[in-house]
Amino acid sequence: MAQDIQTIAFFLPSLAGGGAERIWLSLSSGLAERGHNVDLVLSQAQGPYLEQVSPKVRIIDLKASRTIMSLFALASYLKEEKPSVLFSALNHANVIAIIAQILSNSSTKIFVSVHCFLSLDVQNCERKRERLIPLLIRFFYPLASKVIAVSRGVASELVAEAHLSKEIISVIYNPVVTEELLEKSKLSLEHPWLQEKKVPVILGVGRLIKQKDFSTLIHAFSQLQETTPSRLIILGEGEERAQLELLIQKLGIEDRVEIPGFVFNPYAYMANVDIFVLSSGWEGLPTVLIEAMATGTSVVSTNCRSGPDEILEYGKLGLLTPVGDADALAKAIDETLSSPIDPNVLFSRALAFSQETILNEYMKLCISN
pLDDT per residue as tens digits for the range 36-60? 999 999 999 999 899 999 999 999 9
Same domain, 143 and 241: no
pLDDT in tens, 304-332: 988 899 999 999 999 999 999 999 999 99
pLDDT 10s digits, 176-229: 998 989 999 999 998 999 988 889 999 999 999 999 999 999 999 999 999 999
Please provide the DSSP assignment of 22-71 as one string: HHHHHHHHHHHHTT-EEEEEESS--STTGGGS-TTEEEEE---SSGGGGH
Residue 1 reports pLDDT greater than 90: no
Domain count, the chain: 2
pLDDT per position as a tens digit, 116-126: 766 655 555 55
- Crossing angle of the two packed helices 19-33 and 355-368, in degrees rounded to 10: 80
Distance CA 51, CA 155 (A): 33
- The answer to whether the pTM exceeds 0.75 is yes
**What are the distances in angstroms from CA 3 to CA 31, 36, 319?**
13, 9, 45
Name the residue among 48, 46, 41, 37 with its Cα closest to residue 24: 41
Beta-bridged to residue 86, according to DSSP, are 9, 110
CA distance 345 to 181: 18
User: Which DSSP letter does residue 322 get?
Assistant: -
On whether both 295 and 307 belong to a single domain, the answer is yes
In one-letter notation, the amino acid at residue 176 is V
Statement to judge: residues 323 and 340 lie in one domain: yes
Least confident segment among 91-100, 116-125, 222-231, 261-270: 116-125
- Provide the domain limits for residue 292: 179-352
Terminal alpha carbon distance of the chain: 11
Could you give the CA distance from residue 341 to residue 346 in angstroms, rounded to a whole number?
7
Q: What whole-number distance in Å separates Cα of residue 297 and Cα of residue 207?
A: 21
**Where residue 273 sits, what CATH number does that domain have?**
3.40.50.2000
Q: Are residues 239 and 335 in the same domain?
A: yes
Predicted pLDDT of residue 157: 87
Given a cut of 60, whether residue 365 has pLDDT beyond it is: yes
The answer on 264 and 363 residing in a single domain is no
Instruction: Kindly report the average pLDDT of the chain as a whole number.
Output: 92
* Residue 3: pLDDT over 80: no
Residues 6+ apart with CB under 8 A from 296: 271, 343, 344, 346, 347
Whether residues 342 and 243 fall in one domain: yes
Contact call for residues 307 and 283 (beta carbons, < 8 A): yes
Residues 242, 335, single domain; the answer is: yes
Pairing between strand 201-205 and 275-278? Answer: parallel
pLDDT of residue 22: 85
Mean pLDDT across 263-270: 95
Are 50 and 117 within one domain? yes
Q: Does 38 lie in the same domain as 109?
A: yes
DSSP secondary structure code for residue 353 in this structure: G
The answer to whether residues 243 and 342 belong to one domain is yes
Per-residue pLDDT tens over the stretch 7-37: 999 999 999 867 789 889 999 999 999 999 9
335 and 364 belong to one structural domain:
no
Report how far residue 199's alpha carbon sits from residue 218's, in angstroms, rounded to the nearest whole number: 17
Length of the chain: 369
Task: Give the pairing type, strands 257-261 and 57-61.
Answer: unpaired
Q: Per residue in 130-165, pLDDT tens?
A: 567 778 889 999 999 999 999 888 899 899 888 899
Domain shared by 220 and 315, yes or no: yes
Q: Are 232 and 257 in contact (CB under 8 A)?
A: yes
Burial bucket for residue 265 (CB in 10 Å: 0-12, 13-18, 19+): middle
Angle, CA of 77, 139 and 91, to the nearest 5°: 60
What is the pLDDT, as a whole number, of residue 131?
65
Strand 169-171 to 146-149 pairing: parallel
